[in-house]
Amino acid sequence: MSDLRTVRPEIPDFEKYHAGMAIEEIQERYGLGKVIKLASNENPLGTSPVVQQVLKQNAGLAFRYAQAGTPRLHAAIAEHLGLPVSRIVAGNGSDEIIDLLVRIKARPGQDNIIAFDPCFSMYKLQAKLCGVELRQAKLKPDFSFPWDDLLALADENTAICFVTTPDNPSGFTPKASELEALARALPPQCLLVIDEAYMDFAQPLEEYSLLPRLNEFENVAILRTFSKMYGLAGLRLGYGILPEWLADYCLRVKLPFSVNVLAEMAGIAALSDTVYIEATRKVVSEGREQLTRGFQSMGCKVHPSMANFLLIDLPAGASHDAKGLFQALLERGIIIRPLSSYNLPESLRVSVGDASENRALLDVMKEILGS
């Protein structure tokens, strides 16, 4: 029987997305003035002054539609990467590209997608929404990748294999040679999608990314974003570097104006903003060191990370568990990320902030755990 409220069977199971909490939310709830957010891996330097200038100068263009398919942005990205523009598809965050790839490549009720467990929630959500089975291989206890377990899940109906590197939430980053072996071992119809949201923070690139050798792999797609290193999370801009035939399909089915006119201009400006990029690399690598030393001095286990965040476990016998510490920090105006949505209730993820934010977190945490 169907009635007005009949929807596709996948839909009622969905819950609201658990994002990092917003600063305004915490200010209001606890009556706080200053709140530090280290929960969503945003850039600690804020929006680049160069990009702010471009946004101000072009504010008057907000009434215009962007040029469909944002060709100027595609050209700028292609030039930045040294790849043909026919391989680039920009989207409303790389989330949009993930959504497109799942909808284009995986046949509902027939195909499957493989990924590690835990993985970025978007792979799970979009697979579920599309009625596509998701198969997951459990990460090793140290969060490194069990490649053979992942490969064992693949069959003749595996449409996509998602791998995140540097991985979220652990920061683990495998060698490019291991990705190469995976790409060569997957069944021929399976697209390997390497989500490099945090690859801008890993160096040297050729040691960790297949991007410099992408021409050797017909079955590999790479996702990049402007949300992390480039500091544009709120404007929503990401892109896929795809096999040409797939980029063509994406541009045919994608909503034509999902990348807005200001995001396009900001993205073009951000790509050439080398001062901001260098400053970001510096603040993140120094902050990662600062936080690692501080957490370790409190007895926490800190997982090695190439990204702009750290996964930590509290010392055995600590006064608070992960959830309790998260809550206590929140009440003192510091937002970090609990990981129950990743099924890691005993761990916490902390985005690297600037030196004073990191210092504040370490001081407050010491106070909480010492009391």
Ligand X SMILES: *Cc1c(COP(=O)(O)O)cnc(C)c1O
Q: Which residues bind ligand X (CB under 6 A)?
A: 93-95, 120, 164, 168, 195, 197, 225, 227-228, 233, 238
Q: How far is the CB of 309 from ligand X (least distance, A)?
A: 9
Amino acid identity, residue 193?
V
Report the distance separating Cα 307 and Cα 227, nearest Å.
13
Q: Which of 352, 184, 215, 199 is nearest to 284 (CA)?
A: 352
Choose between 195 and 354: whose C-beta lies nearer to ligand X: 195
| Helix, strand or coil, per DSSP, at residue 38 | coil
Report the distance separating Cα 88 and Cα 73, nearest Å.
9
> In 10 A of CB 220, how many CB atoms?
25
Closest-CB residue for ligand X?
93
Q: How far is the CB of 66 from ligand X (least distance, A)?
A: 17
What is the end-to-end Cα distance of the chain in Å, rounded?
Answer: 59
| Helix, strand or coil, per DSSP, at residue 150 | helix
Choose between 258 and 290: whose C-beta lies nearer to ligand X: 258
Report the distance separating Cα 212 and Cα 197, nearest Å.
16
Choose between 136 and 168: whose C-beta lies nearer to ligand X: 168
Choose between 238 and 287: whose C-beta lies nearer to ligand X: 238
Choose between 292 and 351: whose C-beta lies nearer to ligand X: 351
Neighbouring-strand partners of residue 163: 194
Choose between 164 and 290: whose C-beta lies nearer to ligand X: 164
Q: How far is the CB of 227 from ligand X (least distance, A)?
A: 3
Q: How far is the CB of 206 from ligand X (least distance, A)?
A: 21
Report the distance separating Cα 363 and Cα 298, nearest Å.
11
> In 10 A of CB 78, how many CB atoms?
17
Q: How far is the CB of 316 from ligand X (least distance, A)?
A: 29
Q: How far is the CB of 343 from ligand X (least distance, A)?
A: 16
